[in-house]
Structure 1
Amino acid sequence: MTACSGPTVASAWWLVALSAGAAAIASAGLIKIIHPYLLKHALAKPNARSSHRTPTPQGAGIAVIAATLAAAGVALAGGIEAGSSFPAVLFGATVFIAAVGFADDIKPIPVLPRLLLQAVAVGAIVLTSPCDLRLIPFIPAWIEHGLLVLAGLWFVNLVNFMDGLDWMTVVEVVPITAALAMLGLLGEFPASATLVAAALCGAMIGFAPFNRPVASIFLGDVGSLPIGLLLGWCLLQLALQQHAVAALLLPLYYLADATVTLLRRMMRREPFWVAHRSHFYQRATDNGFAVRQVVNEVFVLNLALAVLAVISILAPSPSADAVLIALGGAAVAFVMFRFSRRRGAQSTGAPI
């Protein structure tokens, strides 16, 4: 999921704002248009994994992704500065993985074919990289590419796994993409990635009113999978600018919750590929936390992680990076600890 570094958008802040605003309006408008159709043909019925109690239409991701690609595409096609590149493969892979998600929403695809199709989208981006930028230069390129495909596949799926609560994906994606857009304005992020991040941020803001608790519509896999692909690509562009610490800090809650949950299920010999309610944010609602409280805490946490990420870029040093990672890890661990215990257990010390 690599791409060339390119010019920044520091001198074209208005274009970043316009991309975000246009995507927000387009996303909200498209959701209104397709909502009646989804209500008839794409209802998500409650199951053992669900956090909702009544059948709710899914598929708002169609509008979010369409708005994101349209807004970013128009801005990129116009060209910001000489040397700007249009990430055509990214756009194609995003449409492809959205189609896979849509098919899975309509009729579930078996695990192995689903992963292989997702790997095609991730691999297309990795293997068509036009640059020699490397994250791990001391290992062969083919090994790094293989690791990037696996990491990208995991990131795409963890975003999908974490999209199990009203507003959860909104409170994750908006702070991350807003921080990336700001870094682009500061000259620390490539132009193409900045516009993609800004457009995705705007599209998610347009989706937010429809997904606030209690949600009237869900993203569906047609939204969560391509959002994971776009977000993972943007974070990798940040890492390729020698900002690996920031790229780790921004999605740290999602990474920690999904990875720890997966490892716990594997250690317990549970069928980890089957839908479940073991994520920390899901356990929180089972432990007496209101949905709004869960998403509010995750939002505040992500804002804090975004601040730490920006600090790591503006004041770079190995010692500062270590402190920032420790602070970010401690904040994430604290929130996950709270979510894993029943309301009131913090004061009594009673375990769940």
Structure 2
Amino acid sequence: MVLFALAPAVLAAPISACITRWSMPLLQRYALARPNARSSHRIPTPQGAGIAVIAATLLVAAPWAAWIHAAIPLPLIGSAVLIALVGLVDDVRPLPVVLRLLLQAGAVAAVVFTTPEALRIVPALPLAVERTLILIGGVWFVNLVNFMDGLDLMTVAEVVPVTATLGLLGWWGDLSPSAALIATALCGAMLGFAPFNRPVAKVFLGDVGSLPIGLLLGWCLLELAWQGQPAAALLLPAYYLVDSTVTLFRRIARREQFWSAHRSHFYQRATDNGFTVRRVIGDVFALNLLLAVLAIITVSASSTWVTWLAFVAGAIAIGFVLRRFSRPQAF
């Protein structure tokens, strides 16, 4: 039974690794990311390996879902492909910000507004209001994964613990089979990509990877919230949510062009403050493991006071890491 649950990850990992390896010469030629003042890399590096991650995830998840009779929504697959194509074009030739946002919003809306009306998080809210808030949150989540993908292995350190936990919750029956399948396949695909992205990275995900990863991961977390576990759905991506959201509001308060590339995220400031890339990634990975444990506790305990304690513990842990990242490293 355990081997069956892990099989999608085991299949997706080599597919992702093979496609990544085969695509690197093409990416080197057409999608080269050259370093600038805001970059964390120092030499021109190909980007766009997210093609491999998304392809491996969908190539495994779609037929597997048909085999076990788990319904993966067609709008989700179509929207993931659309956002990946938008990201691919943007990796080769940058698109206007407004056009990117409109296409992303359309893709997220196609997923959100085609779900059954019975799926609710806060039934007291009018359905239209709740779905609109989910749409806004979905667009933000898609972009924050992109914003946070600015360091070698950063997205791996985030996505692998989250998707592994979602797969585990699915195995325990606390998440829909379709969401658990997507999460497990995505986890494997990220593991297959990881050797190529470890410091110093040979290739980056690019927008073609980070944007649809945000969509797929966001949908899995939304499914978890619809299953009556909104606390766990917030705790799992809490580090990404806090780092990116705090950074966004700080940039808005400073009247900066918050939509443009920058080095203001806490993990970026950490490298400027003397932290090695491996140490930053190690701290983020450890933090995400703790948040995963807290999320599992809220699901298993089903107690309000336990949930609040988990949120407090998570907030303290995140605050501790962000404070460390924002202060110069002592030598």
TM range (shorter): over 0.9
Residues of 1 paired with 2:164 and 2:243: CA distance? 22
Q: Is the 8 A contact 1:172 1:302 kept in 2?
A: yes
Where does residue 45 of structure 1 map in the other structure?
34
C-alpha distance in 2, partners of 1:193/1:226?
15
User: Distance between the aligned counterparts of 1:86 and 1:159, measured in 2?
Assistant: 22
Task: Deviation per CA, 1:73-107: give whole Å up to 9, x if none.
Answer: 12101125xxx323211111100000010011111
Q: 3-state SS of the aligned residue for 1:53?
A: coil
Equivalent runs, 1:5-44 vs 2, <5 Å: 13-44=2-33
Give runs of ≥4 in structure 1 deviating > 2 Å: 12-16
* Structure 2 counterpart of 1:230, one-letter code: L
Please list, as runs of the form range in 1=range in 2, the aligned pairs for 1:236-315 lying within 5 A after superposition. Answer: 236-315=222-301
Residue 95 (structure 2) pairs with residue 109 (structure 1): yes
Q: Which amino acid is 1:73 matched to? A: A
CA distance in 1, matches of 2:49, 2:255: 35
Counterpart CA distance in 2 for 1:337 and 1:157 is 24
Give the letter aligned to residue 228 of structure 1: G
Counterpart position of 1:186? 172
State the partner residue of 2:68. 79
| Residues 76 and 86, structure 1, Cα contact 8 Å, conserved in 2 | yes
Please point out which of 54, 66, 77 is paired with 2:55: 66
Q: Does residue 88 of structure 1 match 2:70? A: no
Correspondence 1:135 to 2:121: yes
Partner Cα separation in structure 1 for residue 5 and residue 182 of structure 2 = 9
Distance (Å, rounded) in 1 between the aligned partners of 2:106 and 2:38: 28
**Does the 8 A contact of 2:161 with 2:288 survive in 1?**
yes
Q: Secondary structure at the match of 2:275?
A: coil
Unaligned runs of 5+ in 1: 1-11, 346-352
**Distance in structure 2 (CA, Å) of the matches to 1:182 and 1:227:** 19
Deviation at 1:270, TM superposition (A): 1.0
Question: Which of 138, 144, 147 does residue 152 from structure 1 map onto?
Answer: 138
Shift of 1:135: 1.1
**What CA distance in whole angstroms lies between the structure 1 residues aligned with 2:5 and 2:59?**
14
- Partners of 2:161 and 2:74 lie apart in 1 by 25
| TM-score normalised by L of structure 2 | 0.98
Secondary structure of the structure 2 residue equivalent to 1:27: helix
Give unmatched runs, 5+ long, in structure 2. Answer: none
CA contact (8 A) 1:16 1:194 kept: no
Shift of 1:130: 2.6
CA distance in 2, matches of 1:283, 1:88: 40
Structure 1, residues 16-52: CA drift from partner, whole Å, max 9, x if none? Answer: 3111111001000111111111111110000122100
- Tell me the SS of whatever aligns to 2:109: helix
C-alpha distance in 1 between matches for 2:71 and 2:26: 37
- Residue 349 of structure 1 corresponds to none
Alignment partner, residue 109 of structure 2: 123
1:228 aligns with 2:214: yes
Moved more, 160-169 or 43-52: 43-52
RMSD: 1.0
Using the TM superposition, give the Cα deviation of residue 131 of structure 1 relative to its aligned residue in structure 2, in angstroms: 4.2
1:189-208 alpha-carbon deviations (Å, 9 max, x no partner): 10000100000000000000
> Separation in 2 of the partners of 1:86 and 1:118?
20
- SS of the residue corresponding to residue 164 of structure 1 reads coil
Is the 1:15–1:75 contact (alpha carbons within 8 Å) kept by the matching residues of 2? no
Distance in structure 2 (CA, Å) of the matches to 1:344 and 1:248: 33
Query: What secondary structure, in the 3-state scheme, does the structure 2 residue paired with 1:343 have?
Result: coil
Aligned residues: 331
Offset from partner CA, 1:239-265 (integer Å, 9 cap, x none): 111111101110000000000000111
Quote the Cα distance in structure 1 between the aligned partners of 2:26 and 2:32: 10
8 Å CA contact 2:117–2:127 kept in 1: the answer is: no
Whether the 8 Å contact between 1:287 and 1:343 is mirrored in structure 2 is: yes
Amino acid in the other structure paired with 1:152:
G
Distance, in Å, in 2 between the alignment partners of 1:66 and 1:187 is 27
State TM-score, norm by structure 1. 0.92
